[in-house]
Structure 1
Amino acid sequence: MAQNLYELTATLNNGTEKKLEDYKGKVLLIVNTASQCGFTPQYKGLQEMYEKYKSQGLEILGFPCDQFGHQEPGTDSEIQNFCQVNFGVSFPLFKKIEVNGEGTHPIYQFLKKKAPGLFGKSIKWNFTKFLVDRKGNVIKRFATLTPPEKIDSKILELLST
């Protein structure tokens, strides 16, 4: 288990390996996403937030996941195309991963350990959000039902420090 978020890597949906260390000094909002979920419209709010705060140091990292009701059945390129066409998503999207169970991606192992939710260390559903400060500390976990705009004040707080 990694001791620090920046020790970890993930694969972008175009196949490029990305070190989370590249995001050092940024405020991160890490979200497990799905294209065929009742919460999929949250992509719109995430993109608006990204456009609003990217220049101040916010990065949103989207991790598609198909573990909840088979709501992310597409390939990585289909997911990317869907997100761009329907929501204009320009924040980084990664290869589809698992967020629960034996195949849990190391990033989600780390996030769940640092910010367990109501179900312990499990992710309950799509669009669970983890807020990380500029030093890589997991500050807060937000439930699926929390829309991006409700996180705005927390993000502003972290961007100003």
Structure 2
Amino acid sequence: MEEFAPYNFTVLSYPCNQFSMQEPGANSEILNGIKHVRPGGGYEPNFTMFEKGDVNGATAQDVWKFLTDTCKSPNPSVGVKNNLYWNNIHVDDVRWTFSDRFIVDADGVPYIRIYDPSDPYEPGGLRDDLEQYFRDGYIDL
């Protein structure tokens, strides 16, 4: 986020418990979990965190319904693990909140959906996609 801050870039975080029950805490507990457990060490996010909610299924938050309806999955197979917690799995569902990423412009228009399961905790190709987004005329690097 710091690297692209001069371009009015920000990260939006939506905690979710639909993936191996990795976010079981109440909204009031999530920030303490980040600060003291994972990643811990007093870490405090410098980005906006929204309330915990679902990203898939009938109870998905509206923002996720919009994103998955607008940006079809770049991975057309439904091969998902059995440790996911929603029904009626669909090909365009978010596969994992650390590996599915969306770049959305300042007006709320989705630019691209990225799916990279190779290293879900490292942004990896996301940097390249952001640089391409800026080069495509949205913002000049």
TM-score exceeds 0.5: yes
The whole-number CA distance in structure 1 between the counterparts of 2:128 and 2:113 is 14
Q: Which letter maps to 2:49?
A: L
The alpha-carbon deviation at position 144 of structure 1 amounts to 5.0
Specify which structure has the higher proportion of helix.
1
> Paired residue for 1:142, among 114, 123, 138?
114
The alpha-carbon deviation at position 93 of structure 1 amounts to 0.7
The alpha-carbon deviation at position 126 of structure 1 amounts to 2.5
Higher relative contact order (CA 8 A, sep 6+): 1
Instruction: Indicate whether 1:61 and 2:12 are aligned.
Output: yes
The whole-number CA distance in structure 2 between the counterparts of 1:59 and 1:84 is 20
Specify which structure has the higher proportion of strand.
1
Between 126-135 and 94-103, report the one with greater CA deviation.
Answer: 126-135
The whole-number CA distance in structure 2 between the counterparts of 1:62 and 1:125 is 13
The alpha-carbon deviation at position 133 of structure 1 amounts to 2.5
Q: Which has the larger radius of gyration?
A: 2
What's the counterpart of residue 45 of structure 2? Answer: 89
> TM (normalized to structure 2)?
0.69
The whole-number CA distance in structure 2 between the counterparts of 1:61 and 1:54 is 13
> Paired residue for 1:106, among 56, 62, 66?
62
What's the counterpart of residue 115 of structure 1? Answer: 71
The alpha-carbon deviation at position 69 of structure 1 amounts to 1.4
Equivalences for 1:33-72 in 2 at 5 Å?
50-72=1-23
Contact in 2 for aligned 1:114/1:138 (Cα 8 Å):
yes
> Paired residue for 2:97, among 107, 116, 126?
126
The alpha-carbon deviation at position 130 of structure 1 amounts to 0.7
Structure 1, unaligned runs of 5 or more: 1-49
Q: Which letter maps to 2:96?
A: W
**Is the partner of 1:129 in helix, strand or coil?**
strand
Structure 2, unaligned runs of 5 or more: 79-90
The whole-number CA distance in structure 1 between the counterparts of 2:28 and 2:6 is 27
> TM (normalized to structure 1)?
0.61
Q: Once superposed, what is the RMSD of the aligned Cα atoms?
A: 2.0
Identity %: 27
